[in-house]
Chain A
Amino acid sequence: MSAIELTAAAPADLEIRGLAKRFGGKVEVLSEVSLAVGKGEAVALIGANGAGKSTLLRSCLRLVEPDAGEIRMLGEDVRALKPAALRRLRARVGFVFQRHNLVPRLPVLSNVLHGALARSPGPRAWFHEIAPRALREEAMSCLERVGLGALATRRADQLSGGQSQRVAIARALMQRPEVMFADEPVASLDPAAGEEVMGCFLELIRRERLTLVFTTHDLRHALDYADRVVGLRGGRVTIDAPAAALDVPSLRSFYE
């Protein structure tokens, strides 16, 4: 039996215990991190650069291999998963990166379609030109949900920063995710575009009732959009409190 026991009263989509990661065997990035995120809960991860926020998110999908600790997500013991099972789990978790990470030379619709790569065997979800009708229609609907239906055939490298991030969100929606991760999703955008994208993103998350973990440097975003704020300092959790119990000045002091 796993060392992590889920409590029946509050089923957690993500439960982390004693997670540790060192880079190059020396630099300690995460140390004894424990955290639980309930189903449908929105958690903001805050902390200075290098505090371990991105590494924590990446570790949950084993994009970075942790050195120690346990991660249980959507009922799976993440660290014990074989490659095929790990891919199936990753398919259930949307991940929006700081830099949208779209394939630049491909049309927007193909980029959205990539969200179905894990569940579509063969080349069906590689390019929209060869995709089955049902997949193309689903991709189009995801694109319309982020308000960019008109740009389906435009090349991804011809989009603005805000549009690119919306397409990345549509790609994550195409996964039909149960959990959504976002790593500073609007940090590379100007303030107006950032507000617009964040508003669209959170609206979709609420409508789909997805579990959300996002990292941010914007304390206002953390307080407005999250149910709970978790602060990391030097790779350790030093704040874990409901957003309603916190305010910007108290969080700002956390950075000092």
Chain B
Amino acid sequence: MSEVPSRFERPSPLAFALCAGAAALLIASLQGIGFTASGFVAGLPNMARMLGEMFPPSVERTGPVAKALLETFQMALVGTVAGVLASLPLAVLATRHLAPNAAVYHAARALIALFRTVPDLVWALFFVVAVGLGPFAGTLAITVDIIGFCGRFFAEAMEEADRGPQEALNALGAGRTAVIAAAVIPAAMPSLINASLFSLEKATRSSVVLGLVGAGGIGIELQVSMDLFRYAEASAIIIAVFLLVVVVEHCSAWLRRRLI
């Protein structure tokens, strides 16, 4: 009988060195962030006290909170619609077989990558300086963020769309725009709807935090309550945000089932 193989293979020197390096990096990172178990334990009573003060949530500022919540949703909705509409032509240019030439394709891909990799909070800071404090700056930030997200997903959906109908329309003399409108977009529609609805959910969550940098929405209300130690107010805001996100997610799931 052949010898039973050992349970584990001996790692190569390179694999061993890489593992050791990764472990060293993790330990250095823990030191870098000032992580201490004692610090965490010492913070627990503060957390408990804060949680205690959060309940029951305060309903004193229901009016302003509801108004800010509505503004948050409006930012998400307008930013998503604008972002989705802007993504469509950009995604066409970022689809290899639909772009007019390689230079346009690479430029469109680079623009989408830029929009996607810079976080929305950074875009919000930029637009606050450009157009001033308020929800308009936040909406622009959401728009750019959604272009980065949808641009990529739309382009992938268009690249994966069945080429058969496209070839058929090319064969009967249709121009590029007609092929895109009549064959590519209808074929990619389930993915486009999916990505758009997911964008609305994502934008709703983003628009909550954009207020922290003065870009409108309910974030500023939350920040003021926390800064003034009004934890009962803060908990009311957090619950309102939670409800908004849950409602948007449910509506989007319902729409997805209806449309796809």
Q: Which of A82-90, A136-144, A205-213, A222-230 interfaces with chain B?
A: A82-90
Whole-angstrom CA separation of A126 from B182 in the bound complex: 5
Contact, CB under 8 Å: B173 / A63 = no
List, in ascending order, chain B residues with CB within 8 A of A105's CB: 186-187, 189
**Bound Cα distance from A91 to B182, whole angstroms:** 16
Min CB distance B193 to A, Å, is: 11
Looking at the complex, which of B108-116, B161-169, B247-255 is the stretch in contact with chain A? Answer: B161-169
Measured between beta carbons, the chain A residues less than 8 angstroms from B187 are 103-105
Q: A103-B187, A106-B186, A127-B182 are in contact. Are A90 and B171 (CB under 8 A)?
A: yes
Judge whether B29 is part of the interface by a CB distance below 8 angstroms.
no
In which size bucket is the chain B interface? 10 to 19
Complex Cα–Cα for A155 and B172 (A):
21
Contact of B181 among A97, A104, A126 (CB under 8 A): A126
Please state if A95 and B165 are interface contacts (CB–CB under 8 Å): no
Tell me the nearest residue of chain A to B170, going by C-beta.
A63
In the bound assembly, the distance between CA atoms of A103 and B165 in angstroms comes to: 6
Q: Mark B177-213, 1 if CB is under 8 A from A, else 0.
A: 0100111001101000000000000000000000000
Chain A interface residue count, CB cutoff 8 Å, equals 32
**Neighbouring A residues of B189 by C-beta, 8 Å:** 105
Q: Is B23's beta carbon under 8 Å from chain A? A: no
Q: Which residues of chain A come closer than 8 Å to B175, judged between CB atoms?
A: 87, 117-118
Is there contact, CB below 8 Å, between A118 and B165?
Answer: no
A-B contact count, CB below 8 Å?
A: 77
Q: Are A87 and B164 in contact (CB under 8 A)?
A: no
**A89–B172 contact, CB under 8 A?**
no
Let me know if B171 and A117 touch, CB within 8 A: no
B20 CB-CB contact with A under 8 Å: no
Residues of chain B lying within 8 A (CB to CB) of residue A106: 182, 186
Please report the C-alpha to C-alpha distance between residue A155 and residue B162 in the assembled complex, in whole angstroms. Answer: 16
- List chain B residues, Cβ under 8 A from A171: 168, 172
Nearest-neighbour CB distance to chain A for B206, whole angstroms, equals: 31
Asked whether B174 is an interface residue with its Cβ less than 8 Å from the other chain, the reply is yes
Given contacts A90-B170, A95-B172, A118-B173, 20 further A-B contacts (CB under 8 A): A61-B171, A88-B173, A89-B173, A90-B172, A91-B173, A93-B171, A95-B171, A99-B164, A103-B165, A103-B183, A104-B186, A114-B172, A114-B182, A117-B172, A117-B175, A123-B181, A125-B182, A126-B178, A168-B168, A171-B172
Closest 9 CB pairs of A and B: A118-B173, A91-B173, A101-B168, A90-B173, A117-B174, A101-B164, A87-B173, A95-B171, A126-B182
Enumerate chain A interface residues (CB-CB to B < 8 A). 61, 63, 86-91, 93-95, 97, 99, 101-106, 110, 114-115, 117-118, 123, 125-127, 168, 171-172, 175
